[in-house]
Structures are given as structure tokens and as C-alpha cells.
Amino acid sequence: MRRQLAEALLRGLGWTAQEGDPVPDRCVVVAAPHTSNWDFFYLLLFAWRFDVSLRFVGKHTLFAGPMGPVMRALGGVPVDRSRPGGLVGQLATALAEQPRMAVVIPAEGSRARRPHWKSGFYRLAQVAGVPISLSFLDYERKLGGFGPCFPATGDMKQDMDLVRAFYADKCGRHPELFGPVQLEEELEV
């Protein structure tokens, strides 16, 4: 029923779904471009359309009180950000414990333009031993869905070249806010 609802809503809003590689039951999903609050809504619809069990990360305090059940029902995973360096470990443990969990990470780390992406999605895929699936929203063509899926090989430049090629023609709701598709670690080399 969720799939039919998502298809109807997407069609009614003028969006087309594009299917790429199948999204594995356990993986890290990169959400890009991430330039608007609307991105979460559309990504959720595309996940329902393709029957992807999407999980997103949220500060543990967002799960307190009356919003807690809503956040969990939408796929939220509470994390304690006060533990430095612990986020990747917490998510890797959650991935290992769940038979079906696609953790969505907005690699840009913000809706504001940044000089580089955060590498947490890449490190998480390596630590958890799960592949990376690239999701997208192209507001210019009103096209969205999932693209290639690949393992984090450890050759960061090669893997990121694949990511750059995929997102080269994707246009966020606010294109001026979509920064360069590169990791800070690539700049340090």
C-alpha cells in the first residue's frame, strides 16, 4: 500500500522515479543533492516507491517526548552525538544487528554550501562491511530514485570519481547550495 501511495503522490507532484541498481537490504544510502528541507519528504517517497527500508540518523534528544514514536515510525535511529567519534561505531553496530537497514546519510552534512562532503558515509560502509547506494533528487527534471550501488573499496579517489560522475548532472532544489562532490581527505592528499 505504501508503494501505491508513493507512486500516486509522486505522479501527482510531477515526479518520475528512476530505478538504478537494486538497493541491498543492508547498506549506506547517500542522499544528494541536499539543499532543501523538502529533500527528506521526496527521498522518503522514493524509498517507499522502491520498497527500501530507509533509516535516518537523528540526535537522540529528538526522540524524547511525543515526537519520539513519530521519528521512529519514519525510520529514525537515535544517536548520541556527545560521544566524539562514536557515531560510525553506533551505526555500524545498528547495521550489524538489523537484517534490513539502509542508513541514509546526507553526505554534504548540511543544506548550506560546503567546500567538501563529510566522509562518515564512506567510513561507515567500510567499518560495517556494507555497500554504498547513491540516491538522488533532480529538481530540474523532477526525477529521483536510486543509482549505482558499490562497495567502499578503500581506493577513495576511485570510489569518489564514481560518485562525482553520478551526481554531475543532478540539480538540487537550490543548485547554488550544492557544493563540490569531494571529501576533505581527498583535499589533504
What is the pLDDT tens value at each position of the chain, 189 positions in all?
A: 899 999 999 999 999 999 899 999 999 999 999 889 899 899 999 999 999 988 887 777 878 888 888 888 888 877 776 665 577 887 888 888 888 889 998 887 777 788 878 888 999 999 999 999 999 999 999 999 999 999 999 999 999 999 999 999 999 999 888 888 888 888 775
E strand or H helix that includes residue 38: helix 38-49
Q: Report whether 23 contacts 102 (CB < 8 A).
A: yes
User: Which triple of cell numbers denotes residue 167?
Assistant: 551526481
In a domain, 86, yes or no: yes
Parent domain of 76: 2-108+123-145+161-172
Give, in order, the Cα–Cα distances in Å from 150 to each of 14, 24, 133, 142.
30, 10, 7, 25
Asked if residue 179 belongs to a domain, the reply is no
Contact yes or no for 138/105 (Cβ under 8 A): no
What is the structure's pLDDT at 86? 73
**Virtual CA dihedral for 156, 159, 160, 163, nearest 10 degrees?**
-160
d(CA 57, CA 51): 19
pLDDT score, position 84: 56
- The amino acid at 80: D
Structural domain contains residue 74: yes
Q: Is residue 129 part of a domain?
A: yes
In a domain, 181, yes or no: no
Query: What cell does 37 get?
Result: 528541507
Whole-number pLDDT of residue 149: 97
Q: Cα dist. 80→3, 86, 89, 134, 136 in Å?
A: 32, 8, 11, 26, 27
Closest to 32 measured CA to CA, from 138, 126, 131: 138
75 in any annotated domain: yes
> In terms of Cα–Cα distance, which of 81, 129, 131, 128 is closest to 109?
81
What's the number of domains the chain is made of?
A: 1
The predicted structure's pLDDT at residue 19 = 86
For residue 133, the surrounding DSSP H or E stretch is strand 132-138
Q: How confident is the model at residue 95, as a pLDDT? A: 87
Q: What is the Cα–Cα distance from 71 to 125, expressed in whole angstroms?
A: 24
